[in-house]
Structure 1
Amino acid sequence: MKYLTLLCMAAAMLLAGCTRPDPNVTTLTYASPYPPSHPFSKADITWMKWVEAASHGRIKIHPLWSGALLSSDQSMEEIRHGVADVGLITPIYTLGNAHAQRAQVGFYGHVGSIAQQVGVYKCLLATFPVLRDELKGLHVLAVQGGNLPGILTRTRAIHSLADLRGLRIRSPAENTAVLRALGADPVDMPMGAVYPALAKGVIDGVIAPADTLKSLNFAEVASHFATLKVSRGAYPARAMNAARWNALPRDLQQILARSETVWEDALNQQITTAEQIGRAYGEQHHVAFVPVPAADQARFDALYDRDSAATAASLIRFGVDGTPIFQEAQRLIRSSPDGSAPLCPPAAPNTRQEPK
């Protein structure tokens, strides 16, 4: 499918060959695995409109939606190799060479907000070179946080952690050890495969935020949402091919650098709104929202912290000293107990640039 799309693009370019391109306009391709109706894509469109307006038409964005060019597990490599100029990247799903980026998402126990997630990540990025090294070949344009997930189940309500025993739950990698400790059977599968798996009873539930009740139609195949707060972190989610970035005129680079805040604010707004819409949609479809006792939340958080520390230590097998990253993430979260973005330690010069 991707190669067919590329051939179609090439054919379109050949057909348009009789029209001389405007030398004052830079066209950038943008690729995403999501359709334009998805909340992530709505934020992307807000960014596109802002960039085109701020550049007075000197930058045009050509979007390619619905996975036409990018995959979830190879998106970083695909952008590095110029499959698209700019794209949605998912280091949390990549199959290799981003071990610290994947693991750090699980170091955010007790985080309070999307703004805090993004702020902590940016502080970690400025402090630990390994995180920057894993982004070689990319210029990051936006960092993304997310709503804290709960546990959505088909037919069995989760009133306490004891109710998880024996259930097959689709889980992010950073939560699998915690679920095993609670007697559940964690399952690793792409989020796109969860709906049919729930519908057929292949799995009993999924760790997911409430926005998925509508955005992924989970309200059609599950009946209970346990409001256990499952911590999660931020990650670099929109990036540009580094060579393409370096080839841009300085003034256009400055416009794109300014667009970072615009993109992150749009993502925050869309993600937050999607959570509210998802909850309302779930209630309309008779999904029961089940509170979890405070003592169970505290126990879950303790297990999460213990597993995060173990994951951080295990990164040494990849030559990464993960323990200081975990410890700094926790220090930053504790430094802003109101859930606001923390103040970062002074950064070394040029830490925001991609490695050469």
Structure 2
Amino acid sequence: MRLRAFLPSLLLLLTSCARPVPQDVTELTYATPYSPNHPFSKADQAWMAFVEQRSHGRIRIRPSWSGALLSSDMSMEELRHGVADVGLITPIYARGGAHLIRIQTGFYSGADSIESQLALYRCIAAANPEIGHELEGLKVLAVQGGSLAGVVTTSRQVNSLADLRGLRLRAPTELLSVLESLGADPVNMPMADVYSAMAKGVIDGVIAPGDTFKSLHFAEVARHYNNLAIPRGAYPARAMGMERWNRLSAQDRAILEESQAVWEAALAREIYAALEKGLEEARAQHVTINGVSRQEQARFDALYLRDSEGNARDLSRFGIDGLRAFRTARASVQGRDKIQCGGNQ
């Protein structure tokens, strides 16, 4: 077990020795669990190109793909300890220490675009110091949002919320009670198991964004998609260990600060492109695509926010004022996809 824990650091050391770094060049390792061809990785490569070009080669990024250095559930702690210089973090999957960051992703009803999700996250983070406490030891380099999820079903078409009754659907944890209140039979399982579960009839469908019709091949086993707008939250997704950040020159830090907007724009661009490709695949496979009425959407939003407020209140057991963050979010949503920090909090 000790050898296994040491292997990532050994790999990094051996790789560093194999490629000498000129004295006037700062080399930063970047680690991600995704392959180089994943949409997230394409955005990462756009960021790398910007940093190297903007610094005239003074900063060089050395990537480590496919989970060779960082894990998904411990990446924040691993970056704090210098396993890599920069990395993809997923505080929403962290084993502990990121309670508010995880729960606040359920406060985004009305923030439909990635741009509005990022704006709302910044409102929440600015007004709630607990976010900063949970990120202690890290320098955030990019915040990430995502495509709204919908209802993917195999054989039964969903035209209204009433049609969810009796459907066995794979859903994320934060949606289980909402779906139960609508009469569905929600289950939680790894997304990697969903394709086979739908193909075998174990489940009737899944709560997922449209990009999954191509990225996870759902168009092969599902026949219907209802684009009920199921909110998606933003969260810090790329970071550097603060210890490493503090060792950089002021000039290098300035370039990385500037690169945040570039990285976030590249992520949004790749996520939007993946969604369009997924919907194109769905149409090509004759998947029916429909929606719900404005009244039905409003009803779902009300149920979603009711559960979100309850989850926020439950954070008090960790000594966290989750209701303050929830109220910040609701005061900042000025209309559908319109965010303005402030209001009566």
Q: Give the alignment's TM-score, normalised by structure 2.
A: 0.92
Q: Map Cα deviations across residues 178-208 of structure 1 (whole Å, 9 max, x no partner).
A: 0111122222233333333333333322211
Measured in 1, the distance between the counterparts of 2:9 and 2:205 equals 38
* Inter-CA distance 4–219: structure 2 relative to 1 (3 Å threshold): farther
Number of matched residues?
A: 340
* Inter-CA distance 196–244: structure 2 relative to 1 (3 Å threshold): farther
**Cα distance, 1:282 vs. partner?**
1.0
Q: Map Cα deviations across residues 15-52 of structure 1 (whole Å, 9 max, x no partner).
A: x2xx7531111111111121121111111110010001
Measured in 2, the distance between the counterparts of 1:193 and 1:139 equals 34
Is 1:339–2:342 an aligned residue pair? no
Aligned residue type for 2:99: H
Cα pair 1:116 1:342 within 8 Å, conserved? no
Is 1:82–2:68 an aligned residue pair? no
**Cα distance, 1:307 vs. partner?**
0.8
Cα pair 1:99 1:315 within 8 Å, conserved? yes
Measured in 1, the distance between the counterparts of 2:71 and 2:194 equals 17
* Inter-CA distance 222–3: structure 2 relative to 1 (3 Å threshold): farther
* Inter-CA distance 5–198: structure 2 relative to 1 (3 Å threshold): farther
Equivalent residue, structure 2, for 1:237:
237
Equivalent residue, structure 2, for 1:294:
294
Aligned residue type for 2:61: I
Matched position secondary structure for 2:37: coil
Measured in 2, the distance between the counterparts of 1:279 and 1:148 equals 13
Cα pair 2:313 2:323 within 8 Å, conserved? yes
Equivalent residue, structure 2, for 1:114:
114
Equivalent residue, structure 1, for 2:99:
99
Equivalent residue, structure 2, for 1:264:
264
Aligned residue type for 1:330: R
Equivalent residue, structure 2, for 1:219:
219
Matched position secondary structure for 1:169: strand
Measured in 2, the distance between the counterparts of 1:344 and 1:249 equals 35
Is 1:10–2:48 an aligned residue pair? no
Identity of aligned residues (%): 54
**Cα distance, 1:124 vs. partner?**
1.2
Equivalent residue, structure 2, for 1:160:
160
Deviating 4+ runs (over 6 angstroms): none
Aligned residue type for 2:13: A
**Cα distance, 1:12 vs. partner?**
3.6
Matched position secondary structure for 2:186: strand
Cα pair 1:197 1:203 within 8 Å, conserved? yes
Cα pair 1:2 1:69 within 8 Å, conserved? no
Measured in 1, the distance between the counterparts of 2:108 and 2:198 equals 28
Cα pair 2:111 2:120 within 8 Å, conserved? no
**Cα distance, 1:81 vs. partner?**
2.1
Measured in 2, the distance between the counterparts of 1:82 and 1:189 equals 32
* Inter-CA distance 226–3: structure 2 relative to 1 (3 Å threshold): farther
Equivalent residue, structure 1, for 2:36:
36
Aligned residue type for 1:271: I
Measured in 1, the distance between the counterparts of 2:196 and 2:67 equals 19
Measured in 1, the distance between the counterparts of 2:172 and 2:323 equals 20
Q: Which runs of 5+ in 1 are unaligned?
A: 346-356
Matched position secondary structure for 1:189: coil
Aligned residue type for 2:172: P
Measured in 2, the distance between the counterparts of 1:98 and 1:193 equals 27
* Inter-CA distance 3–35: structure 2 relative to 1 (3 Å threshold): farther
Matched position secondary structure for 2:231: coil
Measured in 1, the distance between the counterparts of 2:56 and 2:113 equals 34
**Cα distance, 1:6 vs. partner?**
4.7
**Cα distance, 1:95 vs. partner?**
2.0
Cα pair 1:153 1:223 within 8 Å, conserved? yes
Equivalent residue, structure 1, for 2:189:
189
Equivalent residue, structure 2, for 1:279:
279
Cα pair 1:150 1:208 within 8 Å, conserved? yes
Q: CA RMSD in A?
A: 2.0
* Inter-CA distance 224–127: structure 2 relative to 1 (3 Å threshold): same
